[in-house]
């Protein structure tokens, strides 16, 4: 059943669960006379609509909020994403209904950049392969698969926002000879070269993705661009799975046309038992690059603060679909 807006009180509904505590949301919203309800819809749009129909503010993590949900929200003023990417929210439909869409772009920067570096190193040093060897009772100092040092090679960053900049900061000690960036608007530090995506794919040894997912960036790393990559190339994706054409990446990895891949995100999540997982030159994690205890508390607090602004009649700081 939908959460009725009893007695005219303000209502904030989170349509996804997953956090151990919601004390910050409750403490920030209660003084504004708002009820806070967690009503997980398990990625089901119909359940999301049922839960949030009469909400003043909707909070969402990974569940899709397509047009049919947004058009059914009777009094919603804002949809706020627990996170950065908003590709699961129909912003056009929200704008038509004068519903503000906001996100939290400034949390987990340290964590995601660390995850990108960790994945690159795990692939470069073949850690998964050697971990398995030791666990299964095999001990050999021989070469299982080729490894190459990073010093003197080329780092490519697709997108140059907060996370990419911190990724570069953390990679600085590894001795890359060149750093290439594809981002037409970002201001670049000295020594960093701005190039187009085709050049970056052709010349980089580590390609780390930090772009948002939209119509222009979906399958940005496609079969043609993968074909341009060096045999020593490592693809790292901690941004959005849809940036990469998964089947094309799988074929390149299977045929060992590139060195490997480190993936924290997938086109479909959860991905099930994907054919990628049969390969020994890919390292995967379950979209947990954002996580630390500190980052989770930051995210929940900042999301609740945005909801509180909306309930006070203010615009959210990170309002994305401005009209």
Catalytic residues: 240, 269, 287
Q: DSSP character for 319?
A: B
Which H or E element spans position 57? strand 57-60
Which H or E element spans position 237? strand 234-237
Q: What is the dihedral of CA 122, 126, 129, 135, to 10 degrees?
A: -70
Copy the structure tokens of residue 230: 């060096």
- Residues 93, 96, 97, 101: is their CA dihedral positive or negative? positive
Q: What is the dihedral of CA 234, 244, 249, 288, to 10 degrees?
A: 60
Q: For residues 123 and 146, give the distance between their C-alpha atoms in angstroms, rounded to a whole number.
A: 11
β-bridge partners, 100: 78
Q: For residues 71 and 76, give the distance between their C-alpha atoms in angstroms, rounded to a whole number.
A: 10
Answer for the pair 119, 263: CB distance below 8 angstroms, yes or no.
Answer: yes
β-bridge partners, 237: 209, 263
């Amino acid at each position: 059943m939908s959460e009725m807006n009893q007695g005219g009180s303000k209502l904030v509904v989170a349509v996804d669960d997953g956090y151990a505590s919601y004390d910050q949301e409750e403490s920030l919203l209660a003084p504004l006379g708002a009820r806070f309800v967690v009503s997980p819809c398990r990625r089901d749009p119909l359940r999301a609509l049922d839960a949030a129909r009469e909400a003043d503010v909707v909070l969402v993590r990974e569940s899709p909020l397509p047009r049919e949900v947004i058009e059914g929200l009777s009094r919603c003023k804002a949809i706020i994403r627990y996170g950065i990417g908003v590709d699961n929210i129909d912003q056009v439909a929200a704008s038509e209904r004068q519903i503000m869409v906001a996100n939290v772009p400034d949390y987990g920067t340290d964590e995601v950049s660390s995850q990108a570096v960790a994945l690159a190193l795990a692939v470069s040093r073949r850690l998964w392969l050697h971990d398995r060897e030791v666990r299964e009772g095999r001990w050999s100092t021989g070469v299982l698969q080729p490894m190459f040092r990073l010093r003197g090679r080329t780092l490519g960053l697709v997108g140059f926002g907060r996370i990419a900049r911190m990724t570069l900061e953390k990679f600085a000690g590894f001795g890359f000879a060149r750093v290439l960036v594809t981002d037409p608007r970002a201001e670049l530090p000295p020594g960093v070269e701005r190039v187009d995506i085709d050049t970056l794919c052709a010349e980089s040894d580590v390609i780390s993705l930090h772009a948002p997912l939209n119509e222009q960036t979906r399958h940005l790393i496609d079969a043609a661009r993968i074909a341009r990559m060096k045999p020593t190339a490592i693809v790292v994706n901690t941004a959005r799975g849809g940036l990469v054409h998964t089947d094309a990446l799988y074929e390149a990895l299977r045929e060992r046309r590139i060195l490997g891949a480190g993936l924290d995100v997938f086109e479909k999540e959860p991905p099930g038992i994907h054919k990628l997982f049969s390969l020994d030159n890919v390292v995967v994690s379950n979209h947990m690059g954002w996580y630390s205890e500190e980052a989770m508390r930051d995210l929940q607090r900042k999301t609740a603060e945005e909801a509180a602004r909306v309930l006070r009649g203010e615009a959210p700081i990170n309002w994305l679909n401005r009209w």
